[in-house]
Amino acid sequence: MNLGLIGIGSGVCVDPVVAKRVAQRAEALGYDSLWTGEHVVYPEPREEPSNADPDFPILHPSTSLAFIAGVTERVLLGTGIALIAQRNPIVLAKEMASLNVVSQGRLVLGIGAGYVHQEFAALGVNFKERGARTDECVAVMRALWNDDHPAYNGRFVRFSGVQARPRPIQPGGPPIVIGGDSEAAMRRAAAYGQGWYGFGLDIDETATVIERLKAAGGEHLEINITSRIGLTDETVTAFSKLGVHRLILVAPQLPEDPMFGRIEAMAPFAR
């Protein structure tokens, strides 16, 4: 089983000294990927559906992953997930192409439509349009990354007569992993994703969502799961039998030494 670690740009890992030590130790132990989430703001006071207190620190994903790229050699660097509906897709295409280049092609672009309506309101982005914006953003990025003469005429974005260089190292751009378990997310993953990321699932829930992805045409997808149950030989085997490619652990928000103990304890499950 491939093992990843999410949280490299948040909590105690916003300290670059801690983040560097965690990243380098995880890479040495055989973890294949390091991931960071994204929230520009959290509602204050905390309100549903936010998953964190308003004072929880989280770095901008490309800033965090560019730093991690510079202190590691092999691990993949994932956004888990980037809330692309909140972004200008032309700027985002430049940002992610730049991260892809400076990491020498190690970027995995995890994306999602988002769910914290208060965050969208603060950014002045219509929450109800987030699905359509997400789909259009991917089309815009891929046009800028691949077309000889990029142009786009959509609902939210229109441009022509421009170039954005450098382009990503991989033909087609970095692999795209879709987050979310709505029917729209299932269709989105099957239509243009190379993978799917489910957060906080147990074995039965994972089995159900994999069947839903297959029903949507997503048999080809690489399945990434952050489990909400403890990992043992039995549970890792069960996830593997379902076709899960990667288990992504949450970086413990503990003092540094206990954190390292947890990371090392899980390392035997790495492929």
pLDDT digits (tens, 9 = 90+) for 231-246: 999 999 999 999 999 9
Q: What is the DSSP string of 242-257?
A: HTEEEEEEEPP-S-HH
Count of beta carbons in the 10 Å neighbourhood of residue 19: 24
Q: pLDDT digits over 26-51, tens only?
A: 999 999 999 999 999 999 999 999 99
DSSP annotation of 127 = G
Reference 108, options 6, 17, 244; nearest CA is: 6
Mean pLDDT of 247-258: 90
Right CATH for 2-269 from 3.30.70.2860, 3.20.20.140, 3.30.1490.190, 3.20.20.30? 3.20.20.30
Omega of the bond prior to 150 within 30 degrees of 0, cis?
no
The pTM for the full model equals: 0.96
Mean of the per-residue pLDDT values for the chain?
96
What are 195's strand-pairing partners?
A: 177, 222
Weakest mean pLDDT among 69-83, 155-169, 255-269: 255-269
Is pLDDT above 90 for 255? no
Mean pLDDT of 189-218: 97
Whole-number pLDDT of residue 32: 97
| Neighbouring residues of 188: CB distance < 8 A, sequence distance ≥ 6 | 131, 134, 135, 178, 180
Whole-number pLDDT of residue 269: 85
Is pLDDT above 80 for 271? no
Do residues 23 and 97 lie in contact, with contact meaning Cβ atoms separated by under 8 Å?
no
Do residues 168 and 145 lie in contact, with contact meaning Cβ atoms separated by under 8 Å?
yes
Joined together, the tokens standing for residue 140 give 């815009």
Reference 212, options 200, 198, 199; nearest CA is: 198
Instruction: Report domain extents, the chain.
Output: 2-269
Reference 32, options 242, 250, 270; nearest CA is: 270
Do residues 81 and 112 lie in contact, with contact meaning Cβ atoms separated by under 8 Å?
yes
User: Cα 99 to chain center, whole Å?
Assistant: 14
